[in-house]
Structure 1
Amino acid sequence: MHQKKGVPRMGELFELYSHEIDADPFPGYAKLREKAPCYWSDSAGLWILSRYEDVAKAAQDWETFSSLRGNLIDEIPGRSGGTLGTTDPPHHDRLRSLAQSAFTRKAVEELAPRTEAIVDATINLLAGMDGFDFVADFSSQVTVKTIFALLGLPERDPAETRHKVVLSISTDKEARGRNPQLNEAFAELTDFLADEIAERRRRPANDLITALAEAEVDGEKLTDREVMLSTTMFVVAGVESLSSFMSIFALNLADHADSRRRIASDLSLLPQAIEESLRFNTSAQRFRRTATKSVELHGQLIHPGETVVLAYGSTNRDERKFPNADVFDIDRNPRGHLGFGTGKHFCIGSGFARMVTGIAVSRLLARIPDFELGSRDFDWVPSSNFRSPVSLPLVCT
C-alpha cells in the first residue's frame, strides 16, 4: 500500500517553507535520505527526492520528469515554456543551441580581462578597511557589472539591481508561494530588458542580447518572448546565483581558515576548492519537475501531474556518493557533484561562473588573505529553490 505521507505519524521531516531550512537545510536532508528518500510533503503538496542516485537519474530522464510546467517550485507567472529551464527537447535543444554561442570557452576567455578590471576596482575600494559586507561590497558589485558587460547592458546600481533580482526569485513563506510584490519585481526586470532588446533590433551591437536576437539554427530565430525571457534569466542567474555561490564560498573560507590560507599561498588549489564548495554548499538547492507518468520509488507511487523536487543540495551531501560528505575538504575530488545540475538542464553558464569566481577569489585572497566571519546573525534569502545570505559581514584580521 502506497501512502503520500512521507513517514507516517512523524510530522513534517522537511518543512520547505521554513526560515530554518533557508539557513541550514542539511540536517533535514539527512533525515530525508535516511528515513524517506521519496518523501511526500503534506504541507507543500509535492514529492522531494534526496538521494544522489535518484536525483541524478530523474534529472537525466526529462521524458518522465518534465520541466514544461516550470523549474522553480513557486514558478514565476508567464515564464514556463519560454526559457532553457522551463522547456523540454526538442524546443529546449533549439534554445540551448541558440544561446550556447555566448558561453563558448572563447567567449568566456575574452571576458576575463574585463572581469579582472572589475574585480580589481572593487577590491581597491575595500583595501585598508577593517571589515566589509561581502555580499553588498564585493560579490554583488562584481557579478552585476560582469553580467551586464556580457549582455551589453548599461550600468545600473549593483545593490538595487541585486535587490530586484532577489525579490524576483524569492518566496512568500507565509503565502507559501508568490505574491504581487515578487511578481512586480520580475516584471520590472523584463520591462527594462524588453527596451534593451528593442534597441538591439534597431542597432545591433557586439553583445549577448544581439547574439540571441540574431542567432539562427536551421533558419529559425528566437521569438521576442524567448529573447526577453532568456535574457532575464541570464540576468537572474548571473546576478543572484553567481553572487550567492561566491558569497557561500567566502563563508566556507571564513569557516575553514586552514583551507583559506593554503589556497592563498598556492592558487593551484583554487579550481578544486571551487568544485568542493559547489558540492558542499551549493546555492542551487532544489529544482522542480512534473511527473508525466506513474513512477514507483522507495515504496511510494508518484502520479502523473504531480510536482517532484530534485534536492541537489541533498545529493551533494549523500554519503553513498561522497564519503565524509559533511566535511569541507579542498583535497577532495568531488567528481560528479550536482552543483550545476546534470542532464539536459546542466547549467549553460558553468564555465562563466567558474571563471568569474576564480578571478574574484584569487585576487581577493592576494589583497585580503585573512578574514573571518564578523557575525552569524545574518538573514538568508527566503526561497524555495535557492540558498543565499542576504549579507555576509567579514572582518579583516
Structure 2
Amino acid sequence: MFRFDPYSPAVDADPFPFYKTLRDEHPCFWSDEANMWVLSRYDDIVTALNDWETYSSARGNLMDEMPNRAGATLGTTDPPRHDRLRGLVQFAFTKKAVEGLTEPVRASANRALDAIQGEKTFDFVSQFSSKVTVDVLFGLFNLPRENEKMVRDKAVLMVQSDPATRQKGPEHLAAFQWMSEYAKSLVELRKAEPGDDLITALITAEVDGEKLADREIQMTITTLIMAGIESLSGFLTMFAYNLADHPDARRQLVANPALIADAMEESLRYNTSAQRFRRCLQRDVELHGQVMRQGDFVCLAYGSGNRDDRRFPNAHIYDIARKPKGHLGFGGGVHACLGTAFARLASKVAFEELLKRVPDFTRVQDQLPWMSSTTFRSPTRLELAVG
C-alpha cells in the first residue's frame, strides 16, 4: 500500500520516486501522515495557485504552521487583504533597492571565498551559502552583527519539524517566538531611530494613505528573516549540489558565466528547496475521482510539479539550456514569492564569484544529511572537494 509521509527521512533524502508514483497513480491523494490531500501534477497545482477563493492561504501556508502567523503575512492572507499587504511590502522592495544589493552580495561572496582560499575541502552550507545570506540580510535590515549566529540558528529551527512527533517541537516553536520578539524589538528601535534599511522602509511604507500595522510589520520581518536566511541559503546550496553532480554543466558556466541565470532557473525547477506548501479548501472539490471536502487542507507539491513530464519533457534530466518557463520554484498565482528579484540577483552574483574562484569542485559525501522539514528541502551540510 502506497504511503506519502512528508515527515519521513526517506522523503527528505529523495522525494522524487514518491512524487512520480503520486503523479502517475494517485494525482489526488489523501496522506494520513500529513492529514491532508496531496496534489502532485503541475496543472493541478497551478490551478490551485490561481484559485485563491477555493484554495485559501488564510489558515497558513506552511505544512506545519506556526501559531499566530496565519493572517498576518503575505503568504497567509487572501485578497483583498493580501493585495493591501503586498502593495505596502512591495513599496519597500523597490527595483532600485534590489539592484543596490549587487555589490554587497559580491563583497560578501568574496569574503566567504577568502576564508576558504587554499582549503582542499569546505562545507558549502556553513562556509558559503549561510555566510553570504546572513551577511547580506543583516546589511539589508541593518541588524547588530553580534546576533548573527543566534538569528541564523533560530531561522533554521523555524523551518524544521520533528519527524517523531510529526509536528513542530518545543524548540521550533520557541525559535519562532524568539524571532517574533526580536522583530518586535527591531520595530520599536527603528521607530525611535529611523535608518536607511528595510525595517524603516516597512514602517514608513504608505499606499493610498494606508500603512502596515505593527503586528503586520513584525510578522513580515520574522518571515523575511526566515526566508532570506534559510530559503535563499537552501537554494544556493541546492544549486551547488546540482552543479557538483553535473560537472559538464558546471564547466559550461565557468566558460560562459552569462549562462548562470538560465542554469539557476533550471535548478529551481529540477531541485527547488521550496518543496511543499499548503492551502485550505473553501468548498468541496472533485478531482481525479476523489472528493476533497470544504475545510480539508491540501498540500501543493511544487517539487513534484516541477518534475512533471506533462509540463517539462524529460523532467528528470538537469538541462541548463532548458529555460523552464512557468516553473514552481517561487510558487505562483497571487502568492508568488515577493523576493524573487532579490533571490535571483543574489544567487547569480554569488555564483559568478564562486565559479570564478572555485571553478572545479566535487561532492565528498555519498549520503547527505538532509534538513527535517515538511516544507523545505536542502542538506544541512554539503562538503565539496576543490579541484
The TM tier, using the shorter chain, reads: over 0.9
Of 190, 194, 210, the residue aligned with 2:200 is: 210
The corresponding residue for 2:312 is: 322
Normalised to the residue count of structure 1, the TM-score between the two structures is: 0.96
Q: Take 2:298 and 2:318, find their aligned partners in 1: how far apart are those partners?
A: 29
TM superposition shift of 1:103: 2.4
The corresponding residue for 1:40 is: 30
Of 155, 162, 173, the residue aligned with 2:145 is: 155
Number of aligned residue pairs: give it.
387
Aligned residue for 2:369, secondary structure, equals: coil
Q: Take 1:150 and 1:108, find their aligned partners in 2: how far apart are those partners?
A: 10
Give CA-to-partner distance per residue, 1:161-219, whole Å, 9 cap, x none. Answer: 32211111111111111121110011111222211110111111111101111111221
**Are the aligned partners of 1:127 and 1:368 in contact in 2 as well (CA < 8 Å)?**
no
TM superposition shift of 1:17: 1.3
TM superposition shift of 1:44: 2.1
Q: Take 1:213 and 1:104, find their aligned partners in 2: how far apart are those partners?
A: 15
**Are the aligned partners of 1:103 and 1:351 in contact in 2 as well (CA < 8 Å)?**
no
Q: Take 2:363 and 2:40, find their aligned partners in 1: how far apart are those partners?
A: 30
1:97 matches 2:100 = no
Give CA-to-partner distance per residue, 1:46-100, whole Å, 9 cap, x none. Answer: 1000000000010110000000000011100110000010000111111111111
| Alpha-carbon spacing, 1:337–1:156, altered in 2? closer, same or farther (3 Å) | farther
**Are the aligned partners of 1:141 and 1:158 in contact in 2 as well (CA < 8 Å)?**
no
Q: Take 1:348 and 1:66, find their aligned partners in 2: how far apart are those partners?
A: 18
Give CA-to-partner distance per residue, 1:284-339, whole Å, 9 cap, x none. Answer: 00001000001000000011000001000000000000011000001112111010
Normalised to the residue count of structure 2, the TM-score between the two structures is: 0.98
Structure 1 unaligned regions, length at least 5? 1-9
The corresponding residue for 1:257 is: 247
Alignment of 1:53-64 (within 5 A): 53-64=43-54
1:270 matches 2:260 = yes
The corresponding residue for 1:7 is: none
Give CA-to-partner distance per residue, 1:135-174, whole Å, 9 cap, x none. Answer: 0000000001111211222224645432211111111111
Aligned residue for 2:65, secondary structure, equals: coil
The corresponding residue for 1:85 is: 75
Amino acid aligned to 2:51: D
**Larger deviation, residues 192-201 vs 343-352:** 192-201
1:127 matches 2:142 = no
Alignment of 1:333-344 (within 5 A): 333-344=323-334
Q: Take 2:91 and 2:209, find their aligned partners in 1: how far apart are those partners?
A: 16
The corresponding residue for 1:181 is: 171
The corresponding residue for 2:219 is: 229
**Are the aligned partners of 2:19 and 2:40 in contact in 1 as well (CA < 8 Å)?**
yes
The corresponding residue for 1:5 is: none
1:239 matches 2:207 = no
Q: Take 2:205 and 2:235, find their aligned partners in 1: how far apart are those partners?
A: 30
TM superposition shift of 1:369: 0.3
Amino acid aligned to 1:193: A
| Alpha-carbon spacing, 1:196–1:158, altered in 2? closer, same or farther (3 Å) | closer
Of 366, 375, 392, the residue aligned with 2:356 is: 366
Q: Take 1:270 and 1:264, find their aligned partners in 2: how far apart are those partners?
A: 9
Amino acid aligned to 2:172: L
Aligned residue for 2:371, secondary structure, equals: coil
1:115 matches 2:102 = no
Q: Take 1:156 and 1:89, find their aligned partners in 2: how far apart are those partners?
A: 39
Q: What is the identity percentage for the equivalent residue pairs of Structure 1 and Structure 2?
A: 50
Amino acid aligned to 2:46: A
Q: Take 2:72 and 2:52, find their aligned partners in 1: how far apart are those partners?
A: 16
1:279 matches 2:269 = yes
Aligned residue for 2:156, secondary structure, equals: helix
**Are the aligned partners of 1:141 and 1:159 in contact in 2 as well (CA < 8 Å)?**
no
1:295 matches 2:285 = yes
**Are the aligned partners of 2:155 and 2:229 in contact in 1 as well (CA < 8 Å)?**
yes
